[in-house]
Structure 1
Amino acid sequence: MYDCSSITTYYITVDPEPFASLNVNVSAELWIPAVLRLDRDEYQIKLAFRGAHTRKFPKKSFQIQFTYPELYEGQREIHLNAEYADPSLIRNKLSFEFFAGIGVLSPQTHYVLLYINEAFAGIYLKLEAVDELFLQRRELPVGPIYYAVNSDANFSLLQSRTDEVKDALEAGYVRKYGTDDDDQRLRAFIYTINITPVAQFEEAIEKLLDVDSYLRWLAGAVCTQNLDGFIHNYALYQNSQTGCFAIIPWDYDATWGRNVNGRILHPNRLAIDGRNTLSARILDIPKFRQYYCEILENILQTQFTEHKLEPMITALHECLEPFIGLDPYKKALAEEFASEPAFILSFIGKRNAFLQEQLESFKKIN
């Protein structure tokens, strides 16, 4: 259950002229100095817009890097998501809680009331950055981390939009932590996915991929119907002890029945097997496909149900409701916000039924 007392207030003070310059070219990676006040403590920070498609929305999302002190609660960097296109403001939060519940490594999230130069900027969702400190806080072996920033992070040799051969196998990724040698290991991973013959694939992929984690992530992405999440909007982490890669979900606002612009999606828009090269190859192996079916069946019976998720949806909605009328980008949409819990619960019921039906057919594939 979400604790409403964890909603904190952030006060950012920034010179108006540099702040205005962020809007001159919203795609530019421009960082400006600012001050963040939390209670009575002040932190020197750098501030920038974050996201890709979402930068075009009126309500911007932000990245914050701490410069002095360099860490805040063990974090060097945090992300503030505007959730502009999500009329419920809870889809990202609900997704990460859902993923954690099915055993997928996920960022922690908390709601923030953001003021910029004393003006209320709105309700934001603070996302934990996925970096080496993220791993250290969980006592995991530090290893390379990549952000999948565009659709070429599709585990293929080909570009997703043109089907032309990629200029580089690591296209679509930005290295968040690691070395040039790690880039070579990423290239080898993608090459192995694509060129290994079927007869050798099972043995080869188990040496490079945490298959259990991947199949749980796949099940979560399929349940929440994140159409973009298979080719970007994730972090890729390689465990330095096992050498195996794992996926960490990222940016899951276009889920639970809506797309990246907030438009309604029918609950059967995404098939049970997802949509990327790695998933196709893994599910072609009978042992992996059977295990995926077992994982998904359990999730559909115990985790992805209206009964299981209704208390969290209600709690999140009730925590945010008092602030909707204050958010300059949401106050005119209070009626839509009020109807979103019922909409999300309806999506869960219909999506569950669709996946149950597909699961029966998927089990019969030889």
Structure 2
Amino acid sequence: MDETAKLPQYKLFIKPIDLKELKRDIWIDEPIPAQARIDGKRLEIDVSYRGSHIRDFPKKSYQVTFYKPKIFMGSHQVHLNAEYKDPSMIRNKLSFDFFSEIGVLAPRSRHVFLTLNGQAEGVYLEIESVDEYFLRRRNLPPGSIYYAVDGDANFSLMSDLEKNTKKSLKLGYETKWKDSRNAEYHLQEFIYKINTIPPREFENEIPKYVNVDRYLRWVAGIIFTSNYDGFVHNYSLYRNGETGLFEVIPWDYDATWGRDVNGKLMEADYVPIKGFNTLTARLLSVDRFRQQYRQLLEDIMNYQFTHDFIMPRAEKLLQQIRPFVRQDPYKSSAIEQFDKELKVITQYIEGRRNYLMSKFHKLD
């Protein structure tokens, strides 16, 4: 019996001439046509490489756009992440699931086994796209969605990249979906208000623009998973069309749970308890919001960020994909390291809990 039948299978078929075009320049975003067999269904799709620095890795990540039918399992587009630098291949999913558990909007994901023209490409993480269909699947009000694409998505008037005043308040963002012609205005107004509301008015005014509880939960999620880039990158913004309030959705969380972006071991104190970026700093300068944040951290440490809560979930994911990691041409030689990752995650949780408890006084 084919072992890969135990994981959902993605079978991609690309004409040789189209595959040659895809490989010709890995930095071109133009998709090429392909066919796919997913969960037993035959589909017409478009495929392109995805990511920035990850395109240089031997194992490529892909963006899949459904063409016929246009919608498949409620999605028009999904991402297939190679998880190449994560020795466990579960950190992204473990993080997204954790965010969902603590009350943050987060993408759904699942591990799949990918073949390309009959050749094994290995274990991938299928991640739903954050777009209008993301909102529909959750019965959320329509709203604009913006992707944070670089360090200028820092909620500041100052450029993180140029080290001077931003030339545009839209810097750092790409608009993924507009629910109105005023979508870009709303984004710019949000960034402007974050930076210009006077301190004495901030506590009462900022809740008119951002869902403070959801935002603080997102900050807490970054703090517990230790995604260093999470505060100025690796997220999407959703502006709820009914409330007019912004929420943040996490993205790209493979460099977490004790491993950094290069896959190296991360110290437990790598990300400070107060995090960073302009909006976080301004919120935590308000007594009420800082105490709200502290209470959130304490509650999550009591219930979700514990060995007993996280480790059974991590172990289940590792056991599920292990037979297929052995069949992954890019990962099979690193199976010994894969088998050590449960201990790495365990030690990270213990070290991170100790660090956070030692820093709670900073939130008094």
TM-score bracket, shorter-length normalisation: over 0.9
Deviation for aligned residue 1:180: 4.3
Residue of structure 2 equivalent to 1:182: 183
Distance (whole Å) between structure 2 residues aligned to residue 313 and residue 154 of structure 1: 31
1:59-117 deviations in whole A, cap 9, x for unaligned?
A: 11110001111010111000101000000000001001111111111111011100000
CA–CA distance in structure 2, aligned partners of residues 111 and 353 of structure 1: 31
1:152–1:160: 8 Å Cα contact kept in structure 2?
A: yes
Match of 1:244 in 2: 245
* Pair 1:285 & 2:303 matched: no
What's the counterpart of residue 84 of structure 1? 84
Q: Could you say which residue in structure 1 is the equivalent of 2:298? A: 297
CA contact (8 A) 1:99 1:106 kept: yes
SS at the partner of 1:236? strand
Match of 1:42 in 2: 42
| Equivalent residue number for residue 276 of structure 1 | 277
In structure 2, stretches of 5+ residues that fail to align are none
Mean alpha-carbon deviation: is it higher for 329-338 or for 174-183?
Answer: 174-183
Q: Provide TM-score, normalisation by structure 2.
A: 0.96
Residue equivalent to 1:257? 258
Identity of aligned residues (%): 44
Give the drift of 1:161: 2.6
After superposition, residues 307-318 of structure 1 pair within 5 angstroms as 307-318=308-319
Cα-to-partner distance string for 1:28-73 (whole Å, 9 max, x where unaligned): 2121000011254211100011111211111111100011110101
What secondary structure does 1:256 align onto? Answer: coil
Is the Cα contact below 8 Å between 1:6 and 1:110 reproduced in 2?
no
1:28 — aligned with what? 28
Deviation at 1:17, TM superposition (A): 2.7
For residues 128-160 of structure 1, the C-alpha deviation after alignment (integer angstroms, 9 at most, x for no partner) is 111111111111101000111111111011111
The question of whether the paired residues in 1 share the 8 Å contact of 2:79 and 2:126 is answered with: yes
In structure 2, what is the equivalent of residue 151 of structure 1?
151
Instruction: Map 1:191-270 onto structure 2 (within 5 A).
Output: 191-270=192-271
Q: In structure 2, what is the Cα distance between the partners aligned to 1:7 and 1:247?
A: 31
SS for the counterpart of 1:216 is helix
Amino acid corresponding to residue 166 of structure 2 in structure 1: K
Moved over 3 A (4+): none
Amino acid at match of 1:51: G
In the TM superposition, what is the alpha-carbon distance from 1:204 to its structure 2 partner?
1.5
Per-residue deviation, 1:6: 7.4
Distance 1:349 1:40 in 2: 42
Would you say 1:160 and 2:160 are equivalent positions? yes
Distance 2:157 2:33 in 1: 40
The residue aligned with 2:8 is: 8
Deviations, residues 303-350 of structure 1 (Å, cap 9, x unaligned): 111121110011011001111111011011000000001111100110
CA distance in 1, matches of 2:150, 2:353: 29
C-alpha distance in 2 between matches for 1:258 and 1:17: 39
Deviates more, 1:79-88 or 1:13-22: 13-22
Distance 1:169 1:37 in 2: 43
Residue-pair matches, total: 360
Partner of 2:19: 19
Query: Residue 106 of structure 1 aligns with which residue?
Result: 106
Q: In structure 1, what is the Cα distance between the partners aligned to 2:203 and 2:56?
A: 43
Matched, 1:115 2:118: no
The alignment yields a C-alpha RMSD, in angstroms, of 1.3
